[in-house]
Amino acid sequence: MDNTEKASFKAGQVKAQAEEKGSQLMDKASNATQSAKESVQQAGQQVQEKAQQATEAAKDATGMNK
């Protein structure tokens, strides 16, 4: 293998490593996005449950639940 072939081979290795690193970073970003989405959904469900509880408590307090 001459120097040109060695340089080309090395460049190919570096390119493959950079592509793999980029792929890993995209996976991490995707996972973080999914995690944030799930957290927001859970928070939304909790708010909805609390609102429902508050509505029921207000109905009980005013006698509307009878």
Which tokens is 55 given? Answer: 């509505």
63 phi, psi to nearest 5 deg: 80, 15
Tokens 């939304």 sit on residue: 44
Query: Is 80 exceeded by the pLDDT of residue 65?
Result: no
14-49 pLDDT tens trace: 999 999 999 999 999 999 999 999 999 999 999 999
pTM, two decimals, is 0.60
Per-residue model confidence as pLDDT tens digits over 2-17 = 899 999 999 999 999 9
Domain residue extents for the chain: 23-66
Q: End-to-end alpha-carbon separation of the chain, Å?
A: 90
User: If pLDDT is split at 50, 70 and 90, which confidence band does 66 have?
Assistant: low
Quick one: tokens of 61? Answer: 């307090």
Listed residue (31, 30, 7, 11) closest to 19, CA to CA: 11
- Backbone φ and ψ for 36, nearest 5 degrees, come out as -65, -40
